[in-house]
Amino acid sequence: MSARPGGRVRLSGIGLVSAAGEDTAGTLASFRAGRRDPGPVTLFETPLACPVFETGLPQGSAAEGSRTLRLARRALVEALAEAGLDPRRDLQGPRVGVCLGTTVASQLNDLPFYTAFRADGRAPMEAVDRFLKGNLAEQLARELGAEGPCATIANACSSGADAIGTAWSWIRSGACDLAVAGGADEMNLVPLCGFHSLGVVSPEPCAPFDRDRRGLNLGEGAGILILEREEAAARRDAVSGLFVAGYGGACDAHHLTAPRPDGSGLESAVREALREAGAEPSDIAFVNAHGTATRDNDRVEGQALARLFGPDVRVLSTKGYVGHTLGAAGALEAGFTALALREGWVPASAGFRTPDPEIPLVPVTDITRIEGRMALSTSLAFGGVNAALVLERAP
Amino acid sequence: MGLVVPRGRGVDALGRALEEGWRAPASVEAQGLPGGQTPVYRVPAEAMVDPRALRAARRADRLTRMAVLAAWDAAAEGGLTAEGAGARVGVIFATALGPHATTFAFLDGILDYGQAGVSPTQFSHAVHNAAAAYIALALGIRGPALTFTQFHFGFHEAVRMAGAWLAGGRCEAVLVGAAEECGTVQASIAARRLAPPADGRIRPFAFGRPAGTVPGEGAAFFLLTPDGGASDAARIEVAFGAESAAGIDAETGLLILDAGGLSSEEAAYADAAQAGVPVASYAPVFGGTLGLSAFHASAAALTLRRERSFATPVPDHAPERALRVETGGRPVREAVCLRLDCAGRAAALRLRCSRGR
């Protein structure tokens, strides 16, 4: 490994909310047990029969903001606690940034509002107000008193990964010392109908990288990471042994919804992340792949990862446990990756049974011990966006 | 830079608009309002016809087409071609409201045809990063692409991120821009919430008096390269905080305020107007839009490039202690565009002539 510019970025807190668990402990318990529990949509009425991964977050009051915002708040509480940060004391001022990814919360997609508007143009404006006050990063920055860099990333399904990468770039460029980074998205009617219309929603629990995979399951959740400039973390005795070591992004310039068939965009993003981390492909202990279980994504991603890391690379998709959580996915998966590095094992790639002859690698089918210190998390998205994060554990 | 504004497409269209001053906005359909019409500074359809630039985006919505055209023109002006873009060029797009008209069209699909009958094309175009994707497609950009969506400092954060990519060597050039559209639903909401003035004039110096605003739309893109690049380029910096617009030279500087009646809390702009420093705002040309910072940056760049000042199109209530700018040959070496959010937090884009000029 070579020396890297810009200083190291410590990952001092992880907060996770998904169908796999309300926190990191619950998530690890689900992974250890190989437990997954998709079910029908309960949060709104739909005739679309497809399993989804909802969290147990109860319905909230309008004053609490959107469900996406509440998911993010819940993950934030856990991340701050693990980092040993007091939100009333430690996060104010211009050296604290907030960068969060989302898809649902960026749209004014309230169907009751729009139905009333269409009827006579006199719809109540509460939905508009909630939208205007619900920008994910702006709102959480306000609540925390953080006055540093602030961005909400809407890069479709790589939003969470790109938010972490953006916050990582802020810290490395000196824009802030600490950043709240991650992503959140709620189960919502618009993406459910939209992905259904694209013919990529599976009628059964998803099976990433499996020969007989039939598409994705939607999920909801939030992943929040606390990133700190290493020197700043050391000053307050933050003890986490985890780091975000590299980030790479690249676009396909190919198609709005389909990945570039040769996978070169993903390869470029991964190579950039490895370069930033000062790592070689052989340094990567495992890959937590995007692995949506759609025909196109898994074929292109699997082939690209096999080219980069060889066919024996340890790879898994955690979407079998939590579904595709859209703007939260890249953040949740970065959190899962960091947890696996810390714990020294990865869970089985849930849903996988039969190798696909078009995919020259086989995901892990059991809980698997890992020895290395670095791992990769990949994200692919609408718009031909590719993102890669390298996570690292201290020796 | 590249522009699509209510007076047309291109830098010359902006120049003509700034020379001419205020012109009445168009009227668009607005549901639920007396008369069924409301004023909007709307980009004319004829400004968005370009089969070559829009070849990849021929099925895209208005927001994307405006963004692609502005990015295309910025790339062309900067000498960036589709053949030469590749992996060392990035794109960062900022939008507050995104392709909301497409989102509403998708909701129409749910209401009209049921949840199983919606259009996949509308769904894929309703994501905020569709515009950045089409820009990458049109120009062969294979580097990083980000879309920022927020209501206050999205364009400022985009410029900051581009600076980090350039300084860190990740990119040799970054296309940075913003776009907002005003569809019929937004126009109706704006008519109810933003109290468009009866005469259609935005009064940017009203500073919180009940002046209202007229919504606008458009796109502005800039090709940013490392400092020391083209000798005829301007330099852009972004700063955040209460002092971000401090230190403007009264002789050669210009302060452009992002005030435009979008918020009833614009009184703090009055405090930002510095004694003796020339002050302007061009919201009456662009319309009241959350993307105003990017449009003001384009006006600032044009001021530097043409070595010519442009008067505020509707100068009513101009702050007394600041110097009112007249259209003419006053030399400006530095233009600072100041944005304040609802809580009074500040960010500024500071554009300077490059060393060669």
Calpha distance A209→A230 (Å, rounded): 37
- Rounded to a whole number of angstroms, the distance from the CA of B38 to the nearest CA of chain A is 13
pLDDT at B321: 86
- Rounded to a whole number of angstroms, the distance from the CA of B14 to the nearest CA of chain A is 29
CB distance A185 to A105 below 8 Å: yes
Would you identify the CATH topology of the domain A9-393? Peroxisomal Thiolase; Chain A, domain 1 (3.40.47)
| Nearest Cα residue in chain B from A269 | B144
- Residues of B in Cβ contact (< 8 Å) with A142: 343
Tell me which residue has tokens 């998904």: A18
3-state SS, B273-314, equals CCCCCEEECCHHHHCECCCHHHHHHHHHHHHHHHCCECCCCC
- The tokens for A60 are 């909230």
Q: By C-alpha distance, which of A132, A154, A181, A134 is closest to A10? A: A181
Calpha distance A209→A361 (Å, rounded): 9
Calpha distance B337→B305 (Å, rounded): 16
Q: Which helix (H) or strand (E) holds B18?
A: helix B11-20
Residues of A designated catalytic: 157, 290, 324
| Nearest Cα residue in chain A from B347 | A149
- Residues of B in Cβ contact (< 8 Å) with A194: 106, 118, 120, 123-124, 126
Across the interface, which of A103, A169, A196 has its CB nearest the CB of B161? A169
CB distance A336 to A319 below 8 Å: no
Question: B136–A384: do the CB atoms touch at under 8 Å?
Answer: yes
Question: A103–B127: do the CB atoms touch at under 8 Å?
Answer: yes
Q: Point out the least confidently predicted range of A176-190, B40-54, B97-111, B196-210.
A: B196-210
| Nearest Cα residue in chain B from A149 | B157
Calpha distance A135→B150 (Å, rounded): 6
- Confidence tier at B229 by pLDDT (50, 70, 90): low
Q: How many helices (H) and strands (E) does chain B have?
A: 10, 14
Residue B29: phi, psi to the nearest 5? -65, 135
User: Chain B interface, mutation test: which of A9, A131, A197, A247, most B Cβ atoms within 10 Å?
Assistant: A197
Q: Is pLDDT at B227 greater than 90 in this prediction? A: no
- Residues of B in Cβ contact (< 8 Å) with A150: 150, 153, 157
Across the interface, which of A107, A122, A151 has its CB nearest the CB of B126? A107
Rg (alpha carbons) of chain A, rounded to whole number: 20
- The tokens for B271 are 């405090």
Calpha distance A201→A217 (Å, rounded): 6
Over residues B234-270, the pLDDT tens digits come to 899 999 998 999 999 999 999 999 999 888 778 899 9
In this complex, how many residue pairs, one in chain A and one in chain B, have their CB atoms less than 8 Å apart?
211
Task: Classify strands B234-240 and B346-353 as parallel, antiparallel or unpaired.
Answer: antiparallel
Domain residue ranges in chain B: 2-353
**Residues shown for chain A:** 395
Per-residue pLDDT of chain A (395 residues; tens, 9 = 90+): 433 447 899 999 999 999 999 999 999 999 999 999 999 999 999 999 999 999 999 988 888 999 999 999 999 999 999 999 999 999 999 999 999 999 999 999 999 999 999 998 889 999 999 999 999 999 999 999 999 999 999 999 999 999 999 999 999 999 999 999 999 999 999 999 999 999 999 999 999 999 999 999 999 999 999 999 998 888 887 778 999 999 999 999 999 999 999 999 999 999 999 999 999 999 999 999 999 999 999 999 999 999 999 999 999 999 999 999 999 999 999 999 999 999 999 999 999 999 999 999 999 999 999 999 999 999 999 999 999 999 999 99
Calpha distance A244→A389 (Å, rounded): 7
Calpha distance A173→B75 (Å, rounded): 26
Would you identify the CATH topology of the domain B2-353? Peroxisomal Thiolase; Chain A, domain 1 (3.40.47)
pLDDT at B205: 94
Contacts of B252 (CB under 8 A, 6+ apart): B331, B332, B333, B334
pLDDT at A287: 98
User: Chain A interface, mutation test: which of B29, B64, B124, B156, most A Cβ atoms within 10 Å?
Assistant: B124
Calpha distance B161→A177 (Å, rounded): 16
pLDDT at B342: 86
CB distance A228 to A9 below 8 Å: yes
Contacts of A250 (CB under 8 A, 6+ apart): A265, A266, A268, A269, A272, A386, B87, B142, B143, B144
User: Chain A interface, mutation test: which of B37, B111, B127, B184, most A Cβ atoms within 10 Å?
Assistant: B127
pLDDT at B84: 75
Domain residue ranges in chain A: 9-393
- Rounded to a whole number of angstroms, the distance from the CA of B49 to the nearest CA of chain A is 21
- The tokens for B182 are 């005003």
- Residues of A in Cβ contact (< 8 Å) with B103: 107-109, 190
ipTM of the predicted assembly exceeds 0.95: yes
Specify the amino acid at residue A358: E
| Nearest Cα residue in chain B from A136 | B150
- Residues of B in Cβ contact (< 8 Å) with A144: none
Question: B150–A383: do the CB atoms touch at under 8 Å?
Answer: no
- Residues of B in Cβ contact (< 8 Å) with A5: 168
pLDDT at B264: 72
Across the interface, which of B134, B157, B163 has its CB nearest the CB of A151? B157
Calpha distance A332→A55 (Å, rounded): 13
Question: A193–B132: do the CB atoms touch at under 8 Å?
Answer: no
Q: In the Cβ-directed half-sphere of B177, how many Cα atoms lie within 13 Å?
A: 32
Question: B116–A196: do the CB atoms touch at under 8 Å?
Answer: yes
- Rounded to a whole number of angstroms, the distance from the CA of A90 to the nearest CA of chain B is 19
Across the interface, which of B32, B136, B160 has its CB nearest the CB of A121? B32
- Residues of A in Cβ contact (< 8 Å) with B167: 173
Mean pLDDT of B158-185: 96
Question: B133–A384: do the CB atoms touch at under 8 Å?
Answer: yes
User: Chain A interface, mutation test: which of B118, B157, B166, most A Cβ atoms within 10 Å?
Assistant: B157
| Nearest Cα residue in chain B from A115 | B111
- Confidence tier at B67 by pLDDT (50, 70, 90): very high
**Residues shown for chain B:** 357
Calpha distance B33→B299 (Å, rounded): 34
Question: Among the residues of chain A, which ranges form H helices?
Answer: 24-33, 67-83, 111-120, 126-132, 136-144, 159-173, 189-197, 230-235, 264-277, 295-309, 319-322, 329-343
Cα torsion A210, A215, A217, A220: sign: positive
Biggest CA pair distance of chain B: 64
| Nearest Cα residue in chain B from A192 | B115
pLDDT at A3: 38
| Nearest Cα residue in chain B from A381 | B129
Question: B146–A107: do the CB atoms touch at under 8 Å?
Answer: no
Distances (CA, A) of B33 to A109, A120, B183, B193, B196: 22, 9, 15, 12, 12
Phi-psi region of B133 (alpha: psi -120 to 50; beta: other; left: phi over 0): alpha
Rg (alpha carbons) of chain B, rounded to whole number: 19
In degrees, rounded to 5, the angle at the alpha carbon of residue B191 between the alpha carbons of residues B188 and B193 is 110
What is the average pLDDT value for chain B, to the nearest integer?
93
Beta-ladder partners of B309: B328
- Residues of B in Cβ contact (< 8 Å) with A250: 87, 142-144
Please state the separation of Cα A116 from the chain's center in Å.
34
